[in-house]
Structure 1
């Protein structure tokens, strides 16, 4: 591959300040580019979002090959004989497993970004997610047209669990992740213990590349057939014309341009390019139309860099230039990142350091990016590559309130002002590492329809209240282990 185009691509990403965290390119079985943009680092896990669906497809394919699922032609309702399903008509009875795989189920599903995630919020609040999806009305006959629905990918997980007797994560550890050497995988489950089939997996970029390489090699890994070649071919070819990208298969996307891809919200991509023997992985935090930047970089830089199937003549100077570009990408600003001023607080090397009164330090989730402050009292706000937030605020101590009352009265009211249905789950004393007394509070509440969990540690310093917050969707990982890393400088 021509290293100059790859060097130019890295420079363009930095010049345009695109929020890309990593780029990994593997060709002919060799890693030719492995770049990490500060503050993301090699070895860190990243939220892969809806790339989870492509993994779910592989698991279904394995179950079909093993005979645990008879056929993709099985009616979907047959997998749930114990459920009384609403809105059943001839269309819903005709819906098959294949219709779920191809997003052509025909449900009146409104659980994606085009609908403000309304359906997903409702599903997550329901006691039985599978029942919620199965009860949805039908808007068209199965197979008639494409409609992206996270709920049908959840049904795939529920079906896998019913037919194999194993949760999707456990099944994947045995039949997919284990053989690929992918370890310590995070994949959440519902309150009923069903793995969330549409998203939630955290993987390193190299682990994402392993999924791509498995498919590039027609389901084989180290000489062992993990996913059948027939399933790889069937699941990655066009089954229906789609939105967002041109084509859709079995939870894989196609662009009609000789490659297929796993795709995740805010720019997570696993590109598989068979005729170039190439896999490219991008992890990102790209909002709006910037979501398409990785695809444009693939087409504009990565694919044109493939000049020959044979090795190119050595070019030490260009190889060195690419190495230097990778090194520059990994470097952060020497003075760190700050919000209002350096004295108000600096983010550097995984720590937040504030020198203005009250002076304090915090450890932050590895790879966290600076985010815009969204509250007048905030002095720091970051988002981790795993998708959760952490922030710190400095307020005047509310008149008449003790430290024990801060959580259930002051902080709960602030959450109620921003959302609704705030519940204080716990409020207990703790002692920070510097010996200062503090209180730790946990809340559940709703914000714009989402059910959230928030952990807060609060402490007094002088006449100020310092609080450290972390939050995530209910049931998902957050930085609760870091909120007590708060340390103050000096007395008072």
Structure 2
């Protein structure tokens, strides 16, 4: 075990950060790893969003979706209200708005607690029943509901759930078999959450992203899509690593990195300039504390490779 990884473990121990597993790769090789107990499949929370983004890139390539596709193109619900102050209705929300989380809701729909208590089984219908609060496409507001609607839109466009659509195109080529991914009451892949994989499996996804969609000589997802998805598409107003901007279902990071992340400390950090991937699985609210430990303790490892 490297002294950098030892330093990381010491830091998370001293700060009582509940980290389960870490994988550190560079140039496709495993440099170091640590498991507190054993690496096992755990729910990845919002890292699921970044997988959904890969499905979108494939559907765009196949001509099944367009970036200016709207919810109204796929969902024809009665009584969708107009928004406040003559704003557009949710029918006019574009795929590009949803990918950047700029749908125009002040209070994002379909958070986990709301999903658990919602009587309406058709979550897409519920989402579209809510008025917008501002012009779409202009302001970032983190919204799992936006990603769920991406999943619902893709299912309407392709005839397959996001999970089933990705299985032969991404999961199986990456060697991620028998995937479990939670669904809505009507069988729509959550998209925004609910994917169960191990940290080692997540590290394969990270390496695939670093290689811009190329895996064992096959281009699984268009490189141009991954470059766009992992570049800043909209500004964010958070602090530290949450203020670096947002792409298409990916966060920008300091140190020229980007990441997929999930609530309670699932992290898939890509550092293109160092050809490096860092994947972490945790059950910890202080995600910035984990990332600070990465920057302080793990990042110096790469300068010596």
Relative to structure 1, is the Cα distance of residues 105 and 47 closer, same or farther in structure 2, using a 3 angstrom cutoff?
same
1:143 to 129, 137, 144: 137
Question: Which residue pairs with 1:129 in the alignment?
Answer: 123
Separation of aligned partners in 2, 1:167 and 1:258: 33
SS at match of 2:261: strand
Relative to structure 1, is the Cα distance of residues 190 and 220 closer, same or farther in structure 2, using a 3 angstrom cutoff?
same
Question: Which residue pairs with 1:476 in the alignment?
Answer: none
Question: Which residue pairs with 2:105 in the alignment?
Answer: 107
Q: Deviations over 1:95-140 (max 9, x none)?
A: 2100000000113434487xxx664445x43221011111111011
Larger radius of gyration: 1
Separation of aligned partners in 1, 2:79 and 2:144: 19
Q: Is the 8 A contact 1:57 1:251 kept in 2?
A: yes
Relative to structure 1, is the Cα distance of residues 216 and 64 closer, same or farther in structure 2, using a 3 angstrom cutoff?
same
The 5 A counterparts of 1:475-490 are none
1:79 and 2:74 correspond: yes
Question: Which residue pairs with 1:307 in the alignment?
Answer: 303
Separation of aligned partners in 1, 2:142 and 2:16: 30
Q: Please report how far the alpha carbon of residue 226 of structure 1 lies from its aligned counterpart in structure 2 after TM superposition.
A: 0.8
Q: Is the 8 A contact 1:87 1:138 kept in 2?
A: no
Q: Please report how far the alpha carbon of residue 308 of structure 1 lies from its aligned counterpart in structure 2 after TM superposition.
A: 3.8
Q: Deviations over 1:185-218 (max 9, x none)?
A: 1101122111111101110101111111111001
1:234 and 2:232 correspond: no
Separation of aligned partners in 1, 2:234 and 2:252: 10
The TM-score with structure 2 as length reference comes to 0.92
Separation of aligned partners in 1, 2:69 and 2:47: 25
Q: Is the 8 A contact 1:23 1:283 kept in 2?
A: yes
2:288 to 292, 305, 327: 292
The 5 A counterparts of 1:155-194 are 155-194=149-188
Separation of aligned partners in 2, 1:222 and 1:284: 29
Separation of aligned partners in 1, 2:152 and 2:104: 19
Q: Please report how far the alpha carbon of residue 306 of structure 1 lies from its aligned counterpart in structure 2 after TM superposition.
A: 1.2
Separation of aligned partners in 2, 1:174 and 1:131: 29
Question: Which residue pairs with 2:35 in the alignment?
Answer: 36
- Which range moved further: 239-248 or 104-113? 104-113
Question: Which residue pairs with 2:253 in the alignment?
Answer: 255
Q: Deviations over 1:276-320 (max 9, x none)?
A: 100001111112xx22122112211111111245xxxxxxxxxxx
SS at match of 2:30: strand
1:60 and 2:56 correspond: yes
Q: Which has the higher contact order (CA 8 A, sep 6+)?
A: 2
SS at match of 1:17: coil
Structure with greater proportional strand content: 1
The TM-score with structure 1 as length reference comes to 0.58
Structure with greater proportional helix content: 2
Give the count of matched residue pairs.
297
Q: Please report how far the alpha carbon of residue 94 of structure 1 lies from its aligned counterpart in structure 2 after TM superposition.
A: 4.0
Q: Which runs of 5+ in 1 are unaligned?
A: 310-492
Q: Is the 8 A contact 2:109 2:127 kept in 1?
A: no
Separation of aligned partners in 2, 1:111 and 1:73: 21
Separation of aligned partners in 1, 2:139 and 2:187: 32
Q: Please report how far the alpha carbon of residue 48 of structure 1 lies from its aligned counterpart in structure 2 after TM superposition.
A: 0.7
The 5 A counterparts of 1:341-352 are none
Question: Which residue pairs with 2:95 in the alignment?
Answer: 97
Aligned Cα root-mean-square deviation (Å):
1.9
Q: Deviations over 1:456-486 (max 9, x none)?
A: xxxxxxxxxxxxxxxxxxxxxxxxxxxxxxx
Separation of aligned partners in 2, 1:293 and 1:183: 32
Q: Deviations over 1:51-77 (max 9, x none)?
A: 0000001111111111121x1112232
Q: Deviations over 1:377-398 (max 9, x none)?
A: xxxxxxxxxxxxxxxxxxxxxx
Separation of aligned partners in 2, 1:118 and 1:268: 20
Q: Deviations over 1:392-422 (max 9, x none)?
A: xxxxxxxxxxxxxxxxxxxxxxxxxxxxxxx
Q: Deviations over 1:424-460 (max 9, x none)?
A: xxxxxxxxxxxxxxxxxxxxxxxxxxxxxxxxxxxxx
Separation of aligned partners in 1, 2:13 and 2:145: 37
